[in-house]
Amino acid sequence: MNAVTHLPIRAKIGRIEAAMKQMEGQLDLPPVHHFSKGLYARELFIPKGTLIVGKIHKYECLNTMLGDISVLTEEGVKRLTGFHTFTSAPGVKRVGYTHKDTIWICYHASGETNLEKLEDELIAKTYDDVALDTIEIEALTGGA
């Protein structure tokens, strides 16, 4: 599997996100920010019945999820229930639908505490902002 095989799903996620931006009744889901030495965590409470699109992370990050959410990524749709902690490869963008109230936390290695600078440091505006060779290496090695 390489980055090229992700293109159809990425296009679908982009279309979903574009359609959602046109919908009325957008929820404001303000994250809670946590800082520790060399670590930034972004915590998001997502109410039951919410369709949400995530951001593209430039780097590998750790995630913790508590709740019940179906998630679409390049790997397909997975339903996560209960408590999960997992590593996410760089360049991943997700669409999620919460079946129950869900809390999602992303942990990033960064000593930065300025939120604007963190956004620039960690978040890719497009898939092109993430090195394709990194994505391809992750896909080939399974993150090993």
CATH class held by domain 3-141? mainly beta
Query: What's the pLDDT score for residue 76?
Result: 86
Q: Enumerate the β-bridge partners of residue 96.
A: 52, 71
Tell me the domain boundaries of the chain: 3-141
Query: What's the pLDDT score for residue 2?
Result: 47
CA distance 2 to 116: 32
Query: What's the pLDDT score for residue 80?
Result: 96
Query: What's the pLDDT score for residue 142?
Result: 63
Q: Enumerate the β-bridge partners of residue 73.
A: 76
> What does pLDDT average to over the chain?
87
Query: What's the pLDDT score for residue 135?
Result: 54
In sequence order, what are the residues at sequence separation of 6 or more whose Cβ sits closer than 8 angstroms to the Cβ of residue 61?
87, 88, 106, 107, 108, 122
Local structure of 125: helix, strand or coil: coil
Buried b (16+ CB within 10 A) or exposed e, 92-112: bbbbbbbeeebebbbbbebeb
Q: What is the pLDDT of residues 47-81, one digit of tens each?
A: 999 999 999 999 999 999 999 999 998 888 999 99
Q: What is the mean pLDDT of each run of 10 residues along the chain (144 residues)?
A: 61 87 88 97 97 93 97 90 95 94 97 95 87 56 58
Query: What's the pLDDT score for residue 32?
Result: 98
Query: What's the pLDDT score for residue 46?
Result: 98
